[in-house]
Amino acid sequence: MEILKDEFGPEYVINIYDPKLKMEGFLVIDNTVLGPGKGGIRMTDNVSAEEVFRLARTMTFKNALADLPFGGAKAGIIWKGGSPELKKQFVQSFARSIKLLTPKKYIAAPDVNTGEKEMQWFVEATGNWRSATGKPANLCMKLFGEKEEKCGIPHEYGSTGFGVAKTAETAAEMLKIDIKGAKVAIHGFGNVGTFAYIFLTDMGAKVIALADAQTSIFQEDGFDKGLMLKIIRDKKTLKDYPFGEKITAEKFWEIPTDILIPASITNVINDKNKDKIKTKVIVEAGNIPMSEEIEKEFLKKGIWIVPDFIANAGGVISSYAEYRGYNPKKMMDTIEKKIKKNVRIIMQKSIKENKNPRDVGMEIAVNRITKWKQ
């Protein structure tokens, strides 16, 4: 796709190149009406300016809908792999290249192949504590003019997965589905999927199907939580889970559920598997897990969708909490309050008016941006 230019942006599309390292990256600051552009840095071998724009635009509306004083932005660094030392050089070269824009116009965060370590490298290179969120919890600093020391809140606390679980709980409540005993399938078992599993299990939901990049498992009576927590803690994969039925990647989508959570890659739900899916609500934990056309097809079938920029907003809300200097407990309380409020508003209007939740969410986000623009 081409980079769309419209009334929202993008304000900046920047190509970065370090000839010494052969580091190439992109920064798209889409819209800063509500505040500095906020969005993660992804490091993949095929990231492009177009992909970064698409994600930055999603952040514009995600932040507006979450009612945060942030605009939308995203960054990407082409990373074909290498040593930790080389990765640090790439991240810090990128950070120095955009230093003049942080944090007034852009605030970084973790994304694909970046985490708390990369965010520490980023702020060390910019020399500004506020230039990135998702920093390590033990990275603390006393800011000028402020009494208390501020510490990082890494995304590894599970903020996005927690927000996904609260989204699922609230959507289920709106659709008269009892979360206790509700059958759930989660596709993707990284940071988001693992924490969504933990929090939903704690709520009493029955997670019956899980999938990571290599393995899909079905267990009709739900997974053994103690064993699964050990696998997560030991950073093992689903193939190490000793029980349940190992199924094909295609079979995963055929399992009837109450709640389906795609928490993996872009367009994971597509023309090949969409007609096999039998569920009541899809909570989009991953970014752009399906096209908008497929979303509309599901809605016609009576399957509700909670779109990505609502469902996975826990991460950006935690970024706001870190930016404000909150502690982890206050961060989680803020996520729960904002997620529940926004999901209720959107689902209530969608159900009452029989409208697409994405359209309803977009209307709210656009209204918030245009109100401040005027």
Residues with a known catalytic role: 74
Q: Report how far apart, in Å, the C-alpha atoms of 82 and of each of 76, 90, 114, 128, 301 are.
A: 17, 10, 14, 27, 46
CA 113, 114, 116, 117 dihedral sign is positive
Angle among Cα 166, 254, 259 to the nearest 5 degrees reads: 15
Beta strands in the chain (DSSP E): 12-18, 23-31, 37-38, 41-44, 71-78, 106-107, 140-142, 149-151, 183-187, 206-211, 216-218, 245-247, 259-262, 281-283, 304-306
Angle among Cα 67, 69, 74 to the nearest 5 degrees reads: 100
Task: Give dist(CA 38, CA 192) in Å, integer.
Answer: 19
